[in-house]
Amino acid sequence: MKAYRILSVFIVLLVSVTMFGQKIKIDSGKLSALEGVTDVRIEYDYSNLGVGKFDVEAEYIEKKVGDMNEDEAGTGDKWKEAWFNDRPTRYEVKFEELFSNYAEFLNSGKEVESDVVMNVHTTFIEPGFNVGVARKPALINLEVSFSKGGEELVHILILKSPGGGAMGYDFDAGFRIAEAYAKAAKSLGKYMTKALK
């Protein structure tokens, strides 16, 4: 029982440290360049993506698919399909929902017609894990750039955005990663609203 309590305290501390580790910083340009902008089209970029301990996403996918198919034929292929399908159906949906909630002064989304483009480039994903007795939240790093007519106005880094379920029911990696996008969007929306409104 004592070991269980110690493990519980350790997990709470690990999650707490991770949850407050997110950083947002302007890498180049100024947010003031977006003053007066009301509409923003969002685009997503997953090129040059590192995953976990892998610098190249394709290597991570190859290993994961191979291991899963070895355990049970076909499960790795299904996992790979879900890995890519989660982007438009979960991650991008969560990002846009939370960003619009916290940056209400902007009409934003993939379908918005605008000459101002917000490019959300995911550079790193840590899927995390939850095996019941131990868990690690997902983490993502994003580079968010705003440009007009091909000219970059501001480039923002969002580092170590965490994602997980509040009550520990986040056994699915896609759910954890989607929550990391939600956290990043919420923080960015608040950050921009404070700076521009």
Residue 169 — very low, low, confident or very high, per pLDDT cuts 50/70/90?
A: low
Number of structural domains in the chain: 1
At residue 15, the pLDDT reads 44
DSSP code, position 164: -
**Domain, as residue range, for 188:** 2-196
Model confidence pLDDT, tens digit, residues 110-151: 999 999 999 999 999 999 988 877 889 999 999 999 999 999
Tell me the H-state helices in 20-160: 57-71, 75-86, 92-102
Mean pLDDT score, 45-59: 98
Mean pLDDT score, 161-167: 84
* Of the candidate ranges 2-16, 121-135, 180-194, the one whose mean pLDDT is the lowest: 2-16
At residue 186, the pLDDT reads 97
What proportion of the chain, given as a percentage, has pLDDT over 90?
80
Q: What is the pTM of this model?
A: 0.88
User: Is the pLDDT score of 82 beyond 60?
Assistant: yes
Nearest to 95 by CA among 176, 163, 170, 181: 181
Residue 167 — very low, low, confident or very high, per pLDDT cuts 50/70/90?
A: low
Model confidence pLDDT, tens digit, residues 16-43: 444 457 999 999 999 999 999 999 999 9
CA distance 197 to 193: 5
At residue 197, the pLDDT reads 82
At residue 171, the pLDDT reads 81
Nearest to 146 by CA among 31, 47, 45, 53: 31
Residue 164 — very low, low, confident or very high, per pLDDT cuts 50/70/90?
A: confident
Residue 165 — very low, low, confident or very high, per pLDDT cuts 50/70/90?
A: confident
Give the burial string for 87-119 (b: 16+ CB within 10 Å, else e): beebbbbbbbebbbebbeebebbeebebebbbb
Model confidence pLDDT, tens digit, residues 174-184: 999 999 999 99
Compute CA distances 30 → 34, 93, 128, 147, whole Å.
8, 27, 33, 12
